[in-house]
């Protein structure tokens, strides 16, 4: 038995398995995620297709042990996914399933096509789905369903996602970077602030979502008003500086340091607010010329009253997709730990700011990722050595 640590449907999982256990058996037998079906069990039918580091892959011929550190998404993890929701409705409408055995794998593959190919015609869809076999439908309804979703998204001006949202360079499932090969190296991104217009900051499906929550000792209405003050919010965020501020659009940069890499993401964001629900959303894009990295991100927040309205619980959902060099070192587990600590810093600054005290942000030049990361790495090393010497230490 070997212990395998990976992310399944955005949840950290660490479980023992035989080295010969396939990823399909791992998710079905150990996690009860039986939406991943097994047909041929030798890589032909596609019924077992899951997303590995954002890429469709056959889980029946992938060893679970080879997925250490990987990001796995099964059909269950796509329940709330926008494209999969559209595909499910289209499959129903077009009678694209009968027994449904091939459907989970078909949906995972079709989602990838919708994400990458905004102009795919029937032929390209048939080629794209040629690795998924259906014994019932004759494919006509399936192709029609996928085509209708692609056309509907094109009509709504939803752009494709480069590489289908792939976040990690290297073999799918490795969860870590391969030696950078020139053909895998992402093209140098254009500065987002040059190319971003309000309409180009489009909606997207984040590769990683982090849910966080913190409490502020101020009433919800006061906190909501504070969230309208973008300059004030930015002053509480380490490493952030604004260059332009209009009502629903913000431009600026954020400097981050992760190990030896310093990146300065320049970009723009769209701000949406719902006063009735005391909630809002910030959707942004940014690029860093030096590390050749690009990101799309969104922050959704919701304010809930606590202590009879004297305090507020701030619920945050942070989603992002990172590509380029930083994606190679920004493993989801590490980013999650870092985000937790950075949000704690943000909350403390916010509280000070709202209480009229100086925010405590001595205008840090960049996110204190390294100092924070060293704590996280220390904890992780302790865990690894604890495991190696049989102590099973926790972070």
Q: Which residues bind ligand FES (CB under 6 A)?
A: 38-41, 43-48, 58, 60, 97-103, 134-137
250 forms beta bridges with 245, 269
Of 387, 301, 287, the closest CA to residue 343 belongs to 301
Nearer to ligand FES, 109 or 321 (CB): 109
| Residue number, 96 or 207, with CB nearest to ligand FES | 96
The CB-of-288 to ligand FES minimum distance in angstroms stands at: 38
Name the pairing type of β-strands 2-8 and 71-73: parallel
What is the full DSSP assignment across 39-73?
Answer: SSSSSSS-TTEEEETTEEEEGGGSBGGGGTT-EEE
| Least gap, CB of 79 to ligand FES (angstroms) | 20
Q: Based on CB atoms, which residue is closest to ligand FES, 27 or 261?
A: 27
Instruction: Provide, rounded to whole angstroms, the least separation between the CB of residue 133 and ligand FES.
Output: 7
Element (H, E) at 155: helix 140-155
Place of tokens 């590995």: 52
Q: How far is the CB of 146 from ligand FES (least distance, A)?
A: 14
Q: Closer to ligand FES by CB, 15 or 133: give it.
A: 133
In the complex, least distance from residue 175 CB atom to ligand FES, rounded to whole angstroms = 21
Q: Which is nearer to ligand FES, 135 or 246 (CB)?
A: 135
Which of 43/368 has CB closer to ligand FES? 43
**CA gap 347, 366 in Å, rounded:** 17
Residue 74 or 205: which CB sits closer to ligand FES?
Answer: 74
Q: What is the CA radius of gyration of the chain?
A: 22
How does 323-339 read in b/e, with b if 16+ C-beta sit within 10 Å? bbbbbbbbbbbbbbbbb
- Three-state DSSP at 16 gives strand
Question: Smallest distance from the beta carbon of 129 to ligand FES, in angstroms?
Answer: 11
User: Closest distance between ligand FES and the C-beta of residue 101, in Å?
Assistant: 4
Name the burial class of residue 15, with classes exposed (0-12), middle (13-18) and buried (19+) by CB atoms within 10 angstroms of its CB: middle
Please check whether residue 23 is in contact with residue 6, taking contact to mean a CB–CB distance below 8 angstroms.
no
């Amino acid at each position: 038995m070997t212990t395998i640590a990976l992310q399944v449907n955005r949840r950290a999982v660490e479980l023992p398995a035989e080295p010969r256990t396939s990823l399909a058996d791992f998710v079905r037998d150990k996690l009860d995620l039986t939406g991943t079906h097994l047909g041929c069990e030798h890589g032909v039918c596609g019924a077992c297709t899951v997303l590995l580091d954002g890429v469709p892959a056959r889980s029946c011929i992938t060893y679970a042990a080879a997925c250490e550190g990987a990001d796995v998404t099964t059909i269950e993890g796509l329940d709330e996914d926008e494209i999969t929701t559209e595909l499910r409705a289209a499959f129903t409408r077009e009678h694209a399933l009968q027994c449904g055995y091939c459907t989970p794998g078909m949906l995972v593959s079709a989602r990838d096509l919708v994400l990458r190919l905004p102009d795919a015609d029937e032929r390209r869809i048939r080629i794209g789905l040629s690795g998924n076999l259906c014994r019932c439908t004759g494919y006509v309804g399936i192709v029609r369903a996928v085509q209708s979703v692609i056309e509907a998204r094109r009509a709504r001006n939803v752009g494709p996602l480069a590489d289908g949202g792939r976040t990690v360079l290297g073999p799918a499932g490795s969860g870590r970077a391969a030696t950078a090969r020139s053909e895998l190296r992402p093209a140098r991104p254009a500065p987002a602030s040059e190319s971003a217009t309000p309409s180009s900051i489009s909606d997207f499906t984040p590769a990683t979502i982090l849910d966080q929550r913190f409490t502020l000792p101020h009433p919800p209405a006061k906190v909501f008003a504070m969230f309208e003050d973008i300059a004030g919010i930015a002053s509480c965020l380490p490493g952030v500086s604004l260059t332009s501020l209009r009502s629903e659009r913000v431009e600026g940069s954020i400097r981050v340091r992760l190990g030896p890499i310093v990146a300065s993401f320049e970009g723009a964001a769209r701000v949406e607010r719902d006063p009735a629900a005391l909630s809002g959303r910030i959707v942004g894009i940014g690029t860093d010329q030096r590390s050749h990295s690009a990101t799309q991100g969104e922050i959704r927040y919701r304010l809930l009253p606590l202590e009879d309205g004297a305090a507020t619980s701030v619920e945050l959902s942070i989603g992002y997709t990172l590509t380029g060099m930083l994606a190679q070192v920004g493993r989801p587990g590490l980013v999650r730990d870092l985000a937790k600590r950075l949000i704690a810093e943000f909350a403390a600054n916010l509280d000070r700011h709202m209480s009229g005290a100086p925010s405590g942000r001595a205008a840090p030049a960049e996110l204190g990722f390294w100092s924070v990361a060293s704590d996280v790495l220390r904890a992780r090393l302790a865990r690894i050595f604890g495991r190696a010497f049989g102590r099973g230490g926790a972070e």
